């Protein structure tokens, strides 16, 4: 740590707090010249100064780590691998230096590339009837816009999370008592908002519906206690923290009403999870049990997918959990949910990697699969995956089965119960996976479905190998 130079990061922190160098120096108990030298990489950051900064400003020590830039670095790699924009290869070290020393420039490049990619897709969207709120044609799908909304916020909404925690305290939410929580939510809706909760048996698959005119919230009879509580809490968010919800969505340039509505529903779901699993209690339980998802399901009375998703949001300053990536995929490889607080980046071209353990779980529903995996950039991850089946309402209904995956960098793995019995010191056994065949640089992969778009395609008609390309 004694030779760590963090000039650009310290400047970023100072500007975010709107402080002058002199003010920052006074706050840290240092001389202005000393702070100036750190900012210009003349002097390295020492441990005592680092501890003082984390104490005063409430930032995690990883703020000054290059590993903290892994998400942005993965995105900027996507940019330079687009041969239409960048025909000349760029060394990984150069990209790393750009991201670390000039993160704002890197983010601008990523944003420009995203806009360019959307414009490039305009031809394929020519027959799409979707329109933006101003009547022009939409260039991005609602779920992509909402995913980017959460992704840009590290999958953590601080104000909303704290408001949900305050509500849970008001309701008396406690461990192992989901039935009491459900009853408290029913009473809250009735007493404070004059909303009546009823149970119905809809034949169209509807799980809940709220009619603001009649003040009736209908819940499907097939829902469990935890599911009923979750949907009540999500509707309660519009009534209790509606202004905060509107502020979050109004600040985002969503291009369609569908995107806006989907974002509002996503934020409401976030609030519901944070109410049923209040941050401080949930974080403490997760740390103590080694992030055991099935145990946490019993403690808080909600389902596996709900707990796994909540684990990917534990990014409160000064009380961070493991930075997880949460995904949900189906048998066909469609990724219907992805939330990330880590550097895992998914390709926008083609599907995901067939060597990923999330696809193996469909053969054994309910059984948790563990996988040590290595991405092309050399980063190692621990992935936990399990297939879950959603119950059918009727015999003729189409069954729903998904694989839920939760992944973290291997350096965090020993904090989880899932690392027991795994040799984390020997990553030679890690499965080499990628972000999708079209973007994956790995050669001689027998599972490759498409040639990499960033490499010239050379095929010898008189030679064959394990890899088709």
106-143 pLDDT, tens per residue?
A: 888 888 887 777 676 655 544 444 444 454 444 567 88
β-strands 315-316, 208-211: how paired?
A: unpaired
179-222 pLDDT, tens per residue?
A: 999 999 999 999 999 999 999 988 677 899 999 999 999 999 98
Q: What is the pLDDT of residue 332?
A: 85
Q: Is the pLDDT of residue 343 over 70?
A: no
The tokens for 203 are: 């034949």
Q: What is the pLDDT of residue 59?
A: 66
Q: Is the pLDDT of residue 309 over 90?
A: yes
19-29 pLDDT, tens per residue?
A: 888 888 888 88
Q: What is the pLDDT of residue 120?
A: 66
Name the more confident of 69 and 169.
169
CA distance 433 to 428: 13
362-389 pLDDT, tens per residue?
A: 999 899 999 999 887 778 899 999 999 8
Q: What is the pLDDT of residue 349?
A: 46
Q: What is the mean pLDDT of the chain?
A: 84
The tokens for 421 are: 């019995």
CATH 3.30.70.260 applies to domain 7-64: no
422-447 pLDDT, tens per residue?
A: 999 888 889 998 877 777 778 778 88
Q: What is the pLDDT of residue 278?
A: 97
Q: What is the pLDDT of residue 430?
A: 92
CA distance 358 to 454: 26
* From-to residues of CATH 3.30.450 in the chain: 322-469
> Quick one: pLDDT band at residue 290, thresholds 50, 70, 90?
very high
* From-to residues of CATH 1.10.260.40 in the chain: 7-64
Q: What is the pLDDT of residue 137?
A: 46
Q: Is the pLDDT of residue 336 over 50?
A: yes
In this structure, how many other beta carbons lie within 10 angstroms of the beta carbon of residue 330?
15
> Quick one: pLDDT band at residue 467, thresholds 50, 70, 90?
confident
Q: Which of 96-100, 350-354, 442-446 has the lowest mean pLDDT?
A: 350-354
The set of residues, in sequence order, having a beta carbon less than 8 Å from that of 56 and lying 6+ positions away, is: 27, 28
Q: What is the pLDDT of residue 28?
A: 87
- In CATH, the architecture of 322-469 is 2-Layer Sandwich (3.30)
Residue 295 in contact with residue 289, Cβ under 8 Å?
yes
Q: What is the pLDDT of residue 71?
A: 67
The tokens for 139 are: 């260039």
- What percent of the chain lies above the pLDDT cut of 70? 87
Q: What is the pLDDT of residue 47?
A: 81
> Quick one: pLDDT band at residue 101, thresholds 50, 70, 90?
confident
Mean pLDDT, rounded, for 317-343: 84
Q: What is the pLDDT of residue 17?
A: 72
> Quick one: pLDDT band at residue 294, thresholds 50, 70, 90?
very high
CA distance 466 to 469: 9
Return contacts of 250-259, CB within 8 angstroms, 24+ apart.
Answer: 252/145, 252/149, 254/133, 254/145, 254/149, 255/132, 255/133, 255/138, 255/139, 255/140, 255/145, 256/130, 256/131, 256/132, 256/133, 256/138, 256/142, 257/133, 258/130, 258/142, 259/140, 259/142, 259/145, 259/146
The tokens for 361 are: 């779980």
The tokens for 225 are: 């206690």
Q: What is the pLDDT of residue 417?
A: 97
Secondary structure letter of residue 64 according to DSSP: G
233-273 pLDDT, tens per residue?
A: 999 999 999 999 999 998 888 888 999 999 999 999 999 99
């Amino acid at each position: 740590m004694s030779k760590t130079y963090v000039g650009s990061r310290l400047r970023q922190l100072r500007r975010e707090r709107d402080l002058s160098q002199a003010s920052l120096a006074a706050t840290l108990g240092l001389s202005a010249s000393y702070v100036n030298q750190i900012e210009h990489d003349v002097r390295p950051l020492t441990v005592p100064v680092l501890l003082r900064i984390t104490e005063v400003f409430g930032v995690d020590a990883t703020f000054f780590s290059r590993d903290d830039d892994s998400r942005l670095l993965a995105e900027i790699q996507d940019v330079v691998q687009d041969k239409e924009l960048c025909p000349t290869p760029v060394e990984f070290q150069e990209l790393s230096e750009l991201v670390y020393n000039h993160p704002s420039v890197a983010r601008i490049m990523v944003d420009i590339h995203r806009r360019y990619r959307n414009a490039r897709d305009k031809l394929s969207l020519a027959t799409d009837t979707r329109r933006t709120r101003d009547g022009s044609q939409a260039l991005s799908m609602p779920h992509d816009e909402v995913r980017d909304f959460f992704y840009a916020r590290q999958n953590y909404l601080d104000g909303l999370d704290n408001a949900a925690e305050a509500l849970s305290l008001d309701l008396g939410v406690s461990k192992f008592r989901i039935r009491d929580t459900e009853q408290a939510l029913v009473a809250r809706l009735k007493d404070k908002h004059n909303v009546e909760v009823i149970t119905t048996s809809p034949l169209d698959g509807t799980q809940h519906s709220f009619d603001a005119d009649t003040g009736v919230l209908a819940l499907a009879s097939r829902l469990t206690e935890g599911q009923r509580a979750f949907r009540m809490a999500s509707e309660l968010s519009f009534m209790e923290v509606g202004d905060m919800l509107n502020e979050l969505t109004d600040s985002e340039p969503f291009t369609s009403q569908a995107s806006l509505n989907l974002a509002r529903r996503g934020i409401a779901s976030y609030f519901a999870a944070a109410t049923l699993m209040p941050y401080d209690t949930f974080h403490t339980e997760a740390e103590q049990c080694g992030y055991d998802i099935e145990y946490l399901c019993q403690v808080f009375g909600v389902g596996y997918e709900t707990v796994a998703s909540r684990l990917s949001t534990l990014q409160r300053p000064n009380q961070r959990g493991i930075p997880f990536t949460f995904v949900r995929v189906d048998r066909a490889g469609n990724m219907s949910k992805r939330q990330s607080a880590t550097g895992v980046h998914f390709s926008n071209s083609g599907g995901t990697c067939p060597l990923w353990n999330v696809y193996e779980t469909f053969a054994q529903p309910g059984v948790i699969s563990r996988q040590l995996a290595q991405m092309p950039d050399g980063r190692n991850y621990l992935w936990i995956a399990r297939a879950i089946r959603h119950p059918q309402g009727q015999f003729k209904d189409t069954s729903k089965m998904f694989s839920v995956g939760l992944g973290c960098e291997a350096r965090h793995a020993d904090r989880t119960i899932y690392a027991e019995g795994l040799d984390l010191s020997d990553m030679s056994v890690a499965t080499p996976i990628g972000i999708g065949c079209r973007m994956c640089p790995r050669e001689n992969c027998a599972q490759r479905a498409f040639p990499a778009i960033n490499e010239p395609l050379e095929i010898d008609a008189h030679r064959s190998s394990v890899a088709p390309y």
